[in-house]
Amino acid sequence: MITIVKSIGQLIIEQITHLGMAIRLAIYDTRANNAHKYLGNLWEILDPLFQVLTYAVIFGGGFRAAAPVENIPYFVWMSVGFSAWYLVNQGFSDTIRSIQTQIFMVRNVRFPVSILPTIRVLQVFPAVLSITVVAAISMILKNQFHPSLYWLQIFYYLPAALVMLFFLGIFSATINILIPDYDLAIRQVLRLLFFVSGILFQPEKGNVFNTFIFYISRINPFYYIVNGWRETFLVNSWFWDSPLQMAMFWLEIALFAVIGTHLYLKFKDQLIDYI
Amino acid sequence: MTKSDQDIMVQAEAITKNFQLYANQTEKLKSTFLGNQSETNFWALRGLSFEVKRGEVIGIVGTNGSGKSTLLNILSGVIPQTSGKLKLNGSIGVVAINEGLNWELTGRENIRIKQLMMGKSNKEITAVMPSIIDFAELGEFIDQPVKDYSNGMRAKLGFSIVTHNNPDILIIDEALSVGDSNFSKKALGKIREFIAENKTIFFVSHDLDQVREFTTKVMWVQYGEMRAFGPTQAVADEYQKFTQDLDKLDEANRDKYVEKQKQGQQIFTLEQLQDRLVQQGKNFDQARNLTAIRSFEGFSAISLYSTLIIIFGLMAIVIYFYLTKGQQP
């Protein structure tokens, strides 16, 4: 037990001590990826903005979905949730192949492989920031921009999201090398998860199917983050008011942390044998 | 610690490497989690032991598929050995064709990303950048993607990046054979500089003349076993004689010979190695220790499973509370 907690702690410390290097590599990798495009780094922002626009047109315009909270326009409600969703979804799916694609670059170099998933998460930040700016502008335009003490909760939800992404990432990146099908399988799951994580509409009890989705959302860590974002900026309620969901979220993180760290420590020196 | 101990840069004892050959993916997955289940083993290395001191330049020779590359990969930490002990005393740099370059990025970007991974700051990198670019002699191509490079250009870039990192132990894997004579000369000059600085160098080349010219000792690896390790002159002569003899054989006989050796690599077992080590004067415990398969342990099974059970238990409690209290979302 103690060794497990210690190893997990060491892994986190490794991230913190190498944060500077991770940020430099993240910036550089993003720049290098876009260097050959005419619009360059602009794509980092354009891509998420077009996504949010698409959903706004289809669900806000076409299906005339309404926000589940009174007095809040749909686009405001959706875009705030979407910024959180983009962070957890894109961050997570980018980490899956992080070790696999870069292990050839880092061999022969004394380099902590565990920061490769972290780099991928950091690379999502510009996109998340751009959606956040769009959400903020829509809030101002619709007269929903009311900064309050609740907003400080972002200092709980953002670290929570990052911790989740890191442990999910280290777990996924390792397992994806052992089981190459993992990447594709998770993509199918994420596609479905998008619609049951309360990004476009709130899961509510109803018929059997809706009730099932509702209960799934209670234990869905992605929903916890997306919902947390909205509670912070729009609905204004405190995170300690839903202690059971909070407990569930952190237990799930603990589960991934234990299994992920175990797999990583077990396989980190022999990953290249499996590629 | 005596002085001679400090001077040992690489110490390898009974290094083996086993490649498991699987019939299909399912079998491979089983082996991943349950240990070696493969029926076909191929021992690329069968118990190599050697010591290399500071300032020695070691040539590694052997015919194709004899395990040279596997040995270098293990030395540089790219792949782990199956059993045996390896002690390295200092940082390692590897020059090989295409070594660790990202083909999508330009030469300049590759230089920077490699240096970032070494933990250098942007400022330091900008300072050494001109000298690396200058040495690589790529001209306009430095800003083109590496995938458009010729083999020679990639070798130049890789060589330039690695040597500027100033490693204690330098491994050169046939990288010089692809460059033109002009670059070879320059690279060999750089290697001479390293030799003058008393660095340790491993040098793999099929060009026996180059090996004779540069190295102080030669290691002859053949079919995963060490045939000879000693002063350049003697071992290089021996190896040359071997290749000439092999060449003299007609094709059928040569194939038969190679086939027989390869078979030896399949039926080799760690028990054989253990017996051999005992014959060489190790006591039984030492031999058993050296031939123990290197294990990669995460957490111990008991603590892992008990922790998981606790977490699942707590989850069950949370769900129980949720369902009984009917907490509002």
Give the pLDDT band of residue B41 (cuts 50, 70, 90): confident
- In this complex, the residue of B29, B92, B303 whose CB is nearest that of residue A108 is B92
Residue A30: predicted pLDDT: 87
DSSP per position, chain A = -HHHHHHHHHHHHHHHHTHHHHHHHHHHHHHHHHTTSSSTTHHHHHHHHHHHHHHIIIIIIIS----SSTT--HHHHHHHHHHHHHHHHHHHHHHHTHHHHHHHHHTTS---TTHHHHHHHHHTHHHHHHHHHHHHHHHHHTT-----GGGGGHHHHHHHHHHHHHHHHHHHHHHHHHSTTHHHHHHHHHHHHHHHTTSSS-----SHHHHHHHHHHHH-HHHHHHHHHHIIIII---GGG-HHHHHHHHHHHHHHHHHHHHHHHHHTTTGGGG-
Assess whether B274 and B317 both reside in one domain: no
Q: Which of residues 134-193 of B touch A (CB under 8 A)?
A: 145
B195 and B326 inside one domain? no
Question: In this structure, which amino acid lies at residue B272?
Answer: Q
At B102 the three-state DSSP class reads: coil
Distance CA B41, CA A179 (A): 21
CB < 8 Å to B117, chain A: 21, 25, 105-106, 109, 111
DSSP state of B92: E
Pick left, alpha or beta for residue A64 (phi over 0 → left; psi -120 to 50 → alpha; otherwise beta).
left
Is B56 a member of any domain?
A: yes
Please report residues of A whose CB lies closer than 8 A to that of B301: none
CA distances from A33 to A40, B63, B157, B229, B250 (A): 8, 41, 20, 47, 54
B307: containing domain: 302-329
Q: A23: distance to nearest CA of chain B, Å?
A: 10
Share of chain B above pLDDT 90, in %: 1
Whether residue B85 sits in one domain with residue B71: yes
Nearest residue on chain A to B76, alpha-carbon basis? A108
pLDDT above 60: residue B5:
no
Total of domains in chain B: 2
For residue B98, pLDDT beyond 80? no
For residues B317 and A27, give the distance between their C-alpha atoms in angstroms, rounded to a whole number: 43
Same domain, B216 and B329: no
B29/A24 touch (CB, cutoff 8 Å), yes or no: no
pLDDT of amino acid B20 = 77
Could you read off the pLDDT of A125-144 as tens digits, one per residue? Answer: 999 999 999 989 988 888 87
Hunting for tokens 């660095």 — which residue is that? Answer: B199
CB A107 to CB B145 under 8 A? no
Is A123 or B327 the better-scoring residue by pLDDT? A123
Interface touch B304/A258, C-beta < 8 Å = yes
Interior angle at CA A166, CA A163 and CA A167, nearest 5 = 90
- Do residue A107 and residue B91 have CB atoms under 8 angstroms apart? no
Longest dimension (CA), chain A: 58
Same domain, B313 and B248: no
| Category of B142 on φ-ψ map: left (φ > 0), alpha (ψ -120 to 50) or beta | alpha
Contacts of B306 in chain A (CB under 8 A): 1
ipTM of the complex: 0.78
Question: In this predicted structure, which of A225-234, B91-100, B201-210 has the lowest mean pLDDT?
Answer: B91-100
Helix, strand, coil content of chain B in percent (nearest 5)? 55, 20, 25
Residue in A closest to B100 by C-alpha: A105
**B124-140 pLDDT, tens digit each:** 888 888 888 888 888 88
pLDDT at A258: 92
Report which residue type is found at A91.
G
Check residue A13 and give left, alpha or beta (phi > 0: left; psi -120 to 50: alpha): alpha
Residues 188-247 of chain B whose Cβ lies under 8 A from any Cβ of chain A: none
Query: Other C-beta atoms within 10 Å of A99: how many?
Result: 26
Is B79 domain-assigned? yes
Token duo for residue A36: 């050959």
Q: Are B185 and B48 part of one and the same domain?
A: yes
Residues B37, B60 contacting (CB under 8 angstroms): no
Taking the CB of residue B221, how many other CB atoms lie within 10 A of it? Answer: 24
Q: Are B315 and B291 part of one and the same domain?
A: no
- The answer to whether B192 touches B183, Cβ cutoff 8 Å, is no
**Would the pLDDT of A121 be above 60?**
yes
Question: Can you give the pLDDT at residue B147?
Answer: 82
Q: Which of A205 and A248 is assigned the larger pLDDT? A: A248
Three-state secondary structure call for residue B257: helix
Structure tokens that stand for B56 in this block: 């020695």
- Nearest chain B Cα distance for residue A108, angstroms: 6
Parallel, antiparallel, or unpaired for β B169-173 and B217-222? Answer: unpaired
B133 falls within a domain: no
Give the per-residue pLDDT at B7: 81
Shared domain check, B283 and B226: yes
Q: What is the identity of the amino acid at B210?
A: Q
Same domain, B315 and B215: no
Share of chain A above pLDDT 70, in %: 97
Is residue A150 very low, low, confident or very high in pLDDT (cuts 50, 70, 90)? confident
pLDDT tens-digit profile of A253-275? 999 999 999 888 888 777 777 77
- Has residue B286 been placed in a domain? yes
Distance from the A105 Cα atom to the nearest Cα atom in chain B, whole angstroms: 5
What is the pLDDT at residue B2? 44
- Res. B305: pLDDT tops 90: no
In a domain, B86, yes or no: yes
Query: A93 in contact with B at a CB cutoff of 8 Å?
Result: no
How far apart CA A145 and CA B106 sit, in angstroms, is 45
Q: Which range (A209-213, B168-172, B288-292) has the least confidence?
A: B288-292
The mean per-residue pLDDT over the stretch B271-282 comes to 80
A266, B296: Cβ pair inside 8 Å?
yes
- Report whether B98 contacts A24 (CB < 8 A): no
* Better-predicted residue by pLDDT, A221 or A69: A221
Per-residue pLDDT at B302 exceeds 80? yes
Q: Does A179 touch chain B (CB under 8 A)?
A: yes
Same domain flag for B290 and B308: no
Summarised one tens digit per residue, pLDDT across range B222-246 is 888 888 888 888 888 888 888 888 8
Is residue B14 within 8 A of residue B83, CB to CB? The reply is: yes
- pLDDT above 50 (res B329): no
Are B257 and B306 in the same domain? no
Judged against a pLDDT cut of 60, whether residue B30 lies above it is answered with yes
Strand boundaries in chain B, DSSP class E:
8-21, 40-53, 57-61, 83-88, 92-96, 169-173, 200-204, 217-222, 225-231
Q: How far apart are CA A142 and CA A145, in angstroms?
A: 8
Q: State which amino acid sits at residue B141.
A: F
Picking from B37-41, B58-62, B159-163, which range would have the lowest pLDDT averaged per residue? Answer: B37-41
Beta carbons of A130 and A222 less than 8 angstroms apart? no
A158 touches chain B (CB under 8 A): no
Query: Shortest CB distance from A267 goes to which of B116, B296, B306?
Result: B296
Amino acid present at B72: L
Query: Among B88, B304, B306, B317, which would you mutate to test the A interface (most chain A Cβ atoms within 10 Å of its Cβ)?
Result: B304
Dihedral sign (CA A13, A16, A21, A22) = positive
* Cβ distance of B109 and A263 shorter than 8 Å: no
pLDDT per position as a tens digit, B149-171: 887 788 888 888 888 888 888 88
- Predicted confidence (pLDDT) at residue B296 exceeds the cutoff of 70: no
Task: Assess whether B83 and B47 both reside in one domain.
Answer: yes
Give the best residue of A108, A115, A167, A176 to mutate against chain B (max B CB count within 10 A).
A108
Q: Decide if A107 and B319 are in contact by the 8 Å CB cutoff.
A: no
User: Do A258 and B77 lie within an 8 Å CB cutoff?
Assistant: no
* Minimal CA separation from B105 to chain A, in Å: 7
Give the gap in angstroms from C-alpha B267 to the nearest C-alpha of chain A.
Answer: 21
Residues B118-123, mean pLDDT to the nearest whole number: 80
Measure B324 CA to nearest chain A CA, in Å. 12
The pLDDT, as a whole number, for residue B1 is 40
Tell me the average pLDDT across A28-36.
82
Query: To the nearest whole number, what is the mean pLDDT of chain A?
Result: 86
B223 inside domain = yes
Q: CB-based burial of residue A121 (10 Å sphere; 0-12 exposed, 13-18 middle, 19+ buried)?
A: buried
Chain B contact set for A242 (CB, 8 A): 327, 329
Q: What is the CA radius of gyration of chain A?
A: 19
Interface check B309 vs A, CB under 8 A: no
Please indicate, yes or no, if residue B145 is contained in any of the structural domains.
no
The residue-averaged pLDDT of A205-225 equals 84
Mean pLDDT (chain B) is: 81
Whether the CB-CB separation of B109 and A32 falls below 8 Å is answered with yes
Rounded to two decimals, the pTM is 0.81
pLDDT > 90: what percent of chain A? 27
Q: How far apart are CA A180 and CA B276, in angstroms?
A: 40
Helix (H) or strand (E) holding B107: helix B107-117
- Across the beta sheet with B8-21, what order do the strands follow? B40-53, B8-21, B83-88
CATH at residue B287: 3.40.50.300
Of A48-52, A186-190, A229-233, B269-273, minimum mean pLDDT range: B269-273
Q: Do A273 and B327 touch (CB under 8 A)?
A: no
Of B106, B116, B300, the CB nearest to A21: B116
pLDDT value of residue B178: 65
Q: Do B304 and A262 touch (CB under 8 A)?
A: yes
- pLDDT score for B281: 77
Q: Which two tokens stand for residue B38?
A: 């493969």
Q: Judge: A274–B78 Cβ closer than 8 Å, yes or no.
A: no
Query: Which of chain A's residues have a Cβ under 8 Å away from the Cβ of B298?
Result: 261-266
Segment A162-211, tens digit of pLDDT? 999 999 999 999 999 888 889 999 999 988 888 887 777 777 777 888 88
Which residues are bridge partners to B106 per DSSP? B145
Provide the pLDDT confidence category of residue B260 given band limits of 50, 70 and 90.
confident
d(CA B23, CA B40): 9
Distance from CA of B178 to the nearest CA of A (A): 21
Average pLDDT over residues B22-43: 71
- Whether B100 maps to a domain, the answer reads no
φ, ψ (nearest 5 deg) of residue B83: -150, 170
CB-closest option in A111, A178, A248 to B117: A111
Residue with tokens 């490794």: A14
